[in-house]
A and B are shown apart, each in its own frame.
Chain A
C-alpha cells in the first residue's frame, strides 16, 4: 500500500516528529511504500540546518535525513510555510538576497500541489497534527 504522511507539529513543541518517524519505520517494515513526507505549518522548522539538538534529546533533523537516505524517502517542505519561518534553499536565499540558505540536505522546498498530488496517488493519507 502507498502512504503519504503530512506532519503539522513543531519539532520540539510537539511530539509529532518522533511519532511520525516511528510510524514511517513501521510502515516500511511492513513492506508498504511512502510516496512523500510533507512538512506543513510549524513542522517545516525541522528542515532548518541551524538546529542543534541537545545531546540527550533526539536529533529529529538527522533522524529524518537518515530515514530518507536509507529508504529513498522524499522529504517535502511547504515552500510558503518554510519561507516565512526562515527555511530557505540556496535558490530562495539568492532570490530574496539572504546571506545564507538554511535548508538541510535531504529536504526539498516544494509547493502545496505536491501534497495534493501525493494524496491523489496514495492509498492512505495520514496526518500527524500539532
Chain B
C-alpha cells in the first residue's frame, strides 16, 4: 500500500482543478492507497461551509468533499496559517479537518510515497 498525499492549493471555483484533484484522491483510495488530502493557500476556501454552486452551474465542491470519508479517505488536513489568513471558521467547516502547521506539513510530506498537487 502506498501513502499518497493530494495537495489542493487552487481556489474551488476557478476552473475545475479542485474537483479533478478530489477525483484523484477518491480513485487513489479505491486503489488501496493510504490517502491524505491537504488544503493549502487559496485551496482552503474549498472548506467554506454552506456552499451552493447551483447558481454558477457547477458541482458544489463542499458536497463532493463530504463524500471523501465514504471513499476511505480518512485524513483531511488544512494549513493553519492559511485558514487563519482567510478567516475560516475552523470548527464549522464543510468537512471536519485536522489543522496542521508548517512543521507538520513537512513531516506529512516526508511520510508519503507520492504527492499529487495542483
A120 touches B30 (CB 8 A): no
In the complex, the answer to whether A8 meets B118 with C-beta atoms within 8 Å is yes
Contact present for B27 and A116 (CB under 8 Å): yes
A41 at the interface (CB under 8 A from B): yes
Per the bound structure, the CA–CA distance linking A34 and B115 in Å amounts to: 18
Contact at A116–B118, with CB atoms within 8 Å?
no
**Do B2 and A119 touch (CB < 8 A)?**
yes
Number of contact residues on A: which range applies?
Answer: 20 to 34
By a CB distance below 8 angstroms, the chain B residues around A40 are 20, 24
Decide if the interface of chain B is mainly helix, strand, loop or mixed. Answer: mixed
Residue numbers in A under 8 Å from B2 (CB-CB): 119-120
Q: In the complex, which range does the number of interface residues on chain B fall in?
A: 10 to 19
Bitwise interface map of B from 6 to 17 toward A, beta carbon under 8 Å scored 1, else 0 = 000000000011
Residues in A whose Cβ lies below 8 Å from that of B28: 116
Q: Is B4 an interface residue (CB 8 A)?
A: yes
CA distance A84 to B15 in the complex (A): 12
Neighbour of B17 across the interface among A41, A78, A119, A125, CB < 8 A: A41
Contact of A120 with B118 at beta-carbon distance under 8 Å, contacts A41-B20, A81-B20, A112-B24 already known: no
* Partner among B27, B31, B117 whose Cβ is within 8 Å of the Cβ of A127: B117
How many angstroms from the CA of A120 to the CA of B31 in the assembled complex?
A: 9
Quick check: B113 and A113 within 8 Å, CB to CB? no
Residue in B28, B30, B33 with the greatest tally of chain A CB atoms within 10 Å: B28
Q: Bound complex: CA of A117 vs CA of B117, how far in Å?
A: 17
B102-118 interface bits toward A, Cβ cutoff 8 Å, 1 = contact, 0 = none: 00000000000111111
Cα(A111)–Cα(B26), bound, Å: 12
- Cα distance, A115 to B16, chains bound together (Å): 18
Contacts A41-B17, A113-B31 aside, 5 further interface pairs with beta carbons under 8 A come to A6-B116, A112-B24, A117-B31, A119-B114, A125-B113
Chain A residues with a Cβ under 8 A of chain B: 6, 8, 40-41, 78, 80-81, 84, 111-113, 115-117, 119-120, 125, 127, 129-130
B contact set with A: CB distance below 8 Å: 2, 4, 16-17, 20, 23-24, 27-28, 30-31, 33, 113-118
A-B contact pairs, 8 of them (CB 8 A): A40-B20, A81-B20, A112-B24, A113-B27, A116-B27, A116-B28, A119-B113, A119-B114
